[in-house]
Amino acid sequence: MDNVTPSAPHDLAAPDPTEPALLGQGITGWLVVAMVVILFAGGLFGYDQGVISGALDGIRKSFILTPFLVEVVTSWVTLGAMFGALAGGELADRFGRRNAIILSGVLFVVGAAVQAFAPVTAVLVAGRLTVGAAVGVIAVAAPLYGAELAPRTLRGRIVSGYQFAITIGIFLAYLVNNWLSGGGSWRLMLGSSAVPGLLLLVVALIAPESPRWLMKMGRRPQARVQEAKLRPTGDVDASLDLIEKALKEEPQKAAWGEVFHKQWRRPLMIGIGLAVFQQITGINAIIYYANQIFASAGFPSASQATLTTWAIGGVNVAATVIALVFVDRLGRRLLLLAGLIGMGVSLAVLGVAFRFIVPALAGAPAAAPSIAGIVTLCGLVAFIVSFAASMGPITWTVITEIFPGEIRGRAVSICTAFNWLSAYLVSQCFLSMVEAFGSSLTFALFAVFCLIGWIWIFFQVPETKGRSLEQIQQTWAKTN
Ligand code: BGC
């Protein structure tokens, strides 16, 4: 039964053989529903990542937490997401794209409620894991669902739309944090993600199942009903015939072992490398612990949440647009290499700035930031701009275009799992590293990873701008 095409998060760049059946149909109401699902998917992921930054302070006051436990509470969303993503592909293939999305909607709501009412740390962590699993499942199912429903002309934008939605989600979470800060309302902050979770659930319940998936499962009558909903003016049977023909011609999903075949070693290394460097250069240490970094830099507590909201969250959304506009004009390599220089230099500046604000780290609350504090703020903004215009979205763009169809789904899942694993390790270790080596050295270490990443990208990552997927695959043939 499981001969479904490779499918995975961000797997939207590939040409769809059913395209002729979909072209010229324009945007229908149901397509809008599918896009709303994608936006919610990215948005909820971002929201659940961002909200913790404002909630930590209150959580610390309610429970007695060691730095290690603070890290667990923060980072286990990512751990849950890693497992969720690995299971998400199978769930979406076996039970349908829509049902997988409904399942994550339920997990979002349950996870939010468990966190909001958690009586002890262990329950809070269980809630974080549940939300993480929801994030992982939906990150696989939603882009896939959108890709199967959207005409090809819109598919590329959906990849970018997903990343953009993540940044908007983080920003919204910061806004909520800012709005609720001061009242110790961490339960409300974490519980509030039940609202978008519920909305997602409602939208997914009314959304149609992907006709393509139904056809793959041999359920033509049901596929006919859904196709008629999606394209009321088209010839439904002709459309389904095209899907059927395309399904027969498309490559079978390769076994897991095939993904590791030496023929694909180079693209796999490139995908995993980008996924890992995206994280070990420190983005989520900053996204999660922004408030604390501002506190350490001497900003008074009243201004910390506002700074996090605008200097990190707002700038992240705005700078993502730079990449969306320039990725096809300037190319992936130029943006990646330029972005990493910006990230590395700003991290080095942060490292130096923190050498001058060590006393604030000891917990002495400052009335106003010092010059070093202001430099820290500038360094953080420069880092976010550089990341959002390069390693943030372009990592995902490259990962979706370097693999051949038969291994793409599984290969992208592996890269995604590595991404979340690295995100987990960084957010799990950040506070302990700051305790052990100090902020200055921790930022310096991230800067060193930028340098190593730069050298590695310079020698390993080819330019893929303006090349067809077939041409990109030929590159690997030549290098083998
Ligand atoms: C990364 C996330 C990160 C986000 C920030 C994404 O590309 O995968 O880990 O939090 O960008 O905008």
Structure tokens at 380: 């953080």
Give the residue whose CA is nearest to atom 6 of ligand 1: 392
- Burial bucket for residue 105 (CB in 10 Å: 0-12, 13-18, 19+): buried
Across 50-64, 144-158, 274-288, 412-426, least confident range = 144-158
**Per-residue pLDDT for 19 more than 50?**
no
Instruction: Say how many Å lie between the CA of residue 170 and the centre of ligand 1.
Output: 9
Structure tokens at 243: 């899907």
**C-alpha angle with apex 47: 8 to 412, nearest 5 degrees?**
15
Write out residues with Cβ below 6 Å of ligand 1. Answer: 49, 163, 166-167, 170, 278, 283-284, 287, 316, 392, 419, 423
What is residue 7's DSSP assignment? -
Q: Across residues 446-455, what is the average pLDDT? A: 98
pLDDT band at 154 (very low <50, low <70, confident <90, very high): low
- Strand blocks (E) in 305-447: none
pLDDT of residue 224: 93
Instruction: Say how many Å lie between the CA of residue 279 and the centre of ligand 1.
Output: 8
**Per-residue pLDDT for 368 more than 80?**
no
**Per-residue pLDDT for 364 more than 60?**
no
Q: Which atom of ligand 1 is nearest to the CA of 316?
A: 12
- How many Cβ atoms from other residues are within 10 Å of residue 365's Cβ? 9
Across 13-17, 26-30, 68-72, 185-189, least confident range = 13-17
Tell me the average pLDDT of the chain.
85
Give the residue whose CA is nearest to atom 8 of ligand 1: 392
**Per-residue pLDDT for 372 more than 80?**
yes
Q: Across residues 148-177, what is the average pLDDT? A: 80
**Per-residue pLDDT for 11 more than 60?**
no
151 near 19, Cβ under 8 Å?
A: yes
Q: Which atom of ligand 1 is nearest to the CA of 419?
A: 8
Q: Which of 53, 287, 321, 427 to mutate to test the pocket of ligand 1 (most atoms within 8 A of CB)?
A: 287
Structure tokens at 394: 């372009």
- pLDDT tens-digit readout, 457-474: 999 999 988 877 778 877
Give me the percent of the chain exceeding a pLDDT of 70: 88
Q: Which atom of ligand 1 is nearest to the CA of 167?
A: 12
Instruction: Say how many Å lie between the CA of residue 396 and the centre of ligand 1.
Output: 10
Backbone phi, psi, residue 106, to 5°: -60, -45
**Per-residue pLDDT for 385 more than 80?**
yes
CA nearest neighbour of 325 among 395, 394, 402, 381: 394
Is the pLDDT higher at 342 or at 323? 342
Helices (H) and strands (E) in the chain, counts: 23, 0
- pLDDT tens-digit readout, 427-442: 889 989 999 999 999 9
- pLDDT tens-digit readout, 304-323: 888 999 999 999 999 998 88
Q: Across residues 13-28, what is the average pLDDT? A: 48
- pLDDT tens-digit readout, 232-243: 777 888 889 988
Across 96-105, 152-161, 280-289, least confident range = 152-161
What is residue 264's DSSP assignment? G
pLDDT of residue 358: 53
Q: Which atom of ligand 1 is nearest to the CA of 391?
A: 7
Instruction: Say how many Å lie between the CA of residue 168 and the centre of ligand 1.
Output: 11
